[in-house]
Amino acid sequence: MADTDSEIEVVVVSLGARGDGVAETPDGPLYVPFALPGERVRVRPGATRGHGRAAQLLEILEPAENRVTPPCQHFGVCGGCSVQHLADDAYLDWKRDIVVTALERQGIAGSIVRPVVPTPAEGRRRAELAALRLRGRHGAVVLGFHARASNRIVDLAECVILRPALREVIAPLRGALAQILEPGTGCDILVTETPVGLDMLITTKMPPRPKQSLTSAAFAEAADLARVSWASARTGIEPVAQRRPPSVVFNEVSVALPPGAFLQASATAEGKMAALVIDYLGSLPARARVADLYTGLGTFTLPIAADGARVHAVDSAGEGLANLLAATGAAGLSGRVTVETRDLSERPLMAAELAGYKAVVFDPPRAGAAEVVRQLAASEVPSVVAVSCNPATFARDAATLIAGGYCLTGVTPVDQFVYAGHVELVAGFSRTKFVDLRLRCREPLSHRERGWGEGTFLVS
């Protein structure tokens, strides 16, 4: 391949999972940021990346028909979005293809994947911003997301993915941080929109000094924030100002929100995902026992319980579970929800413990749920619903369930992280003797299965 000082012309053939255009060369693939399939481009090859090399886009010689003008002035520099330059239909097809490719790498037919469920672009109710106060007595504050593949912070003038309340707080927050931060220091700020106002968590290496706490509290008052908390490695999370207790609402039930607790990034996507979970669970017997693993604050627990099931909610975050249990009592759902604090990666529910459950729902972190699905595969649970933010680890876990006798009944991607390469999905599995081998079985098929041809088969 040409050296890093050379310029070459290539044709982009596909769009990778990170949003980079992929061009095939005799020496391996080139990954070209901001290039689209079908485009002829002039690039400069760079550092090794996987089995190929990264490349710098120098010029688009022949643009694709589905190329559009990015809606944000920061696109191309800010690392928050990777694909704003692709027309809507092609964009949603790309998101679906990410899931299809992940499944096919595990030998699972990608035709099972349904169309992507879209969500509004400006739907992000939660964002983690980085801030740095420049050196000097009157040092300005840079506040925004990190630049693409860099620790540099892009000072946001606009953001098309954030909810209006988050966008509107950026300018006054930048001014407040000029008083809160010492010159040459920085912090991370997690901002969450809640029904009672914004909840803010400031994270630094050191705990706040009295002046920093007072200035933060004054900003909460001036900006009408619900709460400000401060987190450091030395002291953990400390409250700074709580003017109204923040909460989130699942299925019309309000649950108190601990500072920094996990929450889906978009309320709209969260609602669509909860509806898909209920749909994939199907009709459960009255008072059926359901396990909800990696529960969080009850995103899926409460809709399932409201549907008539008895839900056992399991998570490692004890405070969130306590808040969930209190909320179920206040909502008149006492007796329908039980909770258990447990690290599922270290202590998954064993197959014997799953006896008697009619269904299991699990929503793990990006690393997936390898230990959990091993036990599910050895269990007799009739129905499983998986929620995932990582198609690659989902596909790995799906292959384990299929090898254990489950049938993959459907996969629905949800575009929660608009313009980014991240894809959420909800999928259903059932234990059944009838399996559609064309759509749902792991390949390659066994000798016995291959002999039956295509269609729906009885396998024991």
pLDDT band at 136 (very low <50, low <70, confident <90, very high): confident
In this predicted structure, the answer to whether residue 93 has a pLDDT above a threshold of 90 is yes
Q: Are 4 and 30 in contact (CB under 8 A)?
A: no
Looking at the DSSP assignment, which residues form a beta bridge with residue 28?
25
pLDDT at 454: 32
| 371 exposure class (CB count in 10 Å sphere: 0-12, 13-18, 19+) | middle
The model's pLDDT over 20-63, given as tens digits with 9 standing for 90+, comes to 999 999 989 999 999 999 999 999 999 999 889 999 999 999 99
The mean of the pLDDT values for the chain is: 92
Whether residue 70 is preceded by a cis peptide bond, meaning omega within 30 degrees of 0, is no
Give the three-class secondary structure for 96: helix
What are the phi and psi torsion angles at 391 (to 5°)?
-55, -30
Between the CA of residue 241 and those of 129, 189, 196, 199, 214, what are the distances in Å? Answer: 20, 15, 14, 10, 9
pLDDT at 334: 85
Q: How many CB atoms lie within 10 A of CB 80?
A: 26
pLDDT band at 5 (very low <50, low <70, confident <90, very high): low
Looking at the DSSP assignment, which residues form a beta bridge with residue 45?
55
Between the CA of residue 352 and those of 232, 315, 339, 349, what are the distances in Å? Answer: 41, 19, 18, 8
Domains and their CATH numbers in the chain? 1-67 (2.40.50.140), 101-119+266-458 (3.40.50.150), 126-247 (2.40.50.1070)
Buried b (16+ CB within 10 A) or exposed e, 88-108: eebbbbbbbbbbbbbbeebeb
pLDDT band at 445 (very low <50, low <70, confident <90, very high): very low
How many whole angstroms separate alpha carbon 419 and alpha carbon 92? 10
What percent of the chain stands above pLDDT 70?
92
In this predicted structure, the answer to whether residue 455 has a pLDDT above a threshold of 90 is no
Between the CA of residue 170 and those of 125, 202, 419, 423, what are the distances in Å? Answer: 14, 14, 21, 27
pLDDT at 139: 84
What is the sign of the dihedral through the CA atoms of 308, 313, 317 and 318? positive
Q: Are 117 and 424 in contact (CB under 8 A)?
A: no
DSSP state of 441: S
pLDDT at 24: 95
pLDDT at 181: 96
| Active-site residue identified among 78, 159, 187, 389 | 389
DSSP 169-192: HHHHHHHHHHHHSPTT-EEEEEEE
HEC letters along 313-362: EEECCHHHHHHHHHHHHHCCCCCCEEEEECCCCCCCCCCCCCCCCCEEEE
pLDDT band at 447 (very low <50, low <70, confident <90, very high): very low
Angle at the Cα of 57 from the Cα atoms of 52 and 59, rounded to 5 degrees: 140
pLDDT at 4: 53
Q: H/E element holding 83?
A: none
Smallest CA-to-CA distance from 191 within 181, 201, 180 is with 201
Report the length, in residues, of the chain: 460
For the chain, give percent helix, strand, coil, nearest 5: 25, 35, 45
pLDDT at 3: 54
Q: Are 354 and 377 in contact (CB under 8 A)?
A: no
Q: Are 108 and 406 in contact (CB under 8 A)?
A: no
The model's pLDDT over 252-261, given as tens digits with 9 standing for 90+, comes to 999 999 999 9
Q: Which amino acid is at 96?
A: R
Look up 389 and say whether it is catalytic: yes
The model's pLDDT over 173-196, given as tens digits with 9 standing for 90+, comes to 999 999 999 999 999 999 999 999
In which residue are the tokens 């990954």 written? 31
Torsion of CA 415, 416, 417, 423, to 10 degrees: -60
How many whole angstroms separate alpha carbon 375 and alpha carbon 294? 15
The model's pLDDT over 266-280, given as tens digits with 9 standing for 90+, comes to 999 999 999 999 999
How many whole angstroms separate alpha carbon 71 and alpha carbon 401? 41
Lowest mean pLDDT among 118-132, 297-311, 446-460: 446-460
How many whole angstroms separate alpha carbon 181 and alpha carbon 209? 10
pLDDT band at 435 (very low <50, low <70, confident <90, very high): very low
User: What is the average per-residue pLDDT within 79-108?
Assistant: 97
pLDDT band at 452 (very low <50, low <70, confident <90, very high): very low
| 206 exposure class (CB count in 10 Å sphere: 0-12, 13-18, 19+) | middle
In this predicted structure, the answer to whether residue 95 has a pLDDT above a threshold of 70 is yes
The model's pLDDT over 376-420, given as tens digits with 9 standing for 90+, comes to 999 999 999 999 999 999 999 999 999 999 999 999 999 999 999
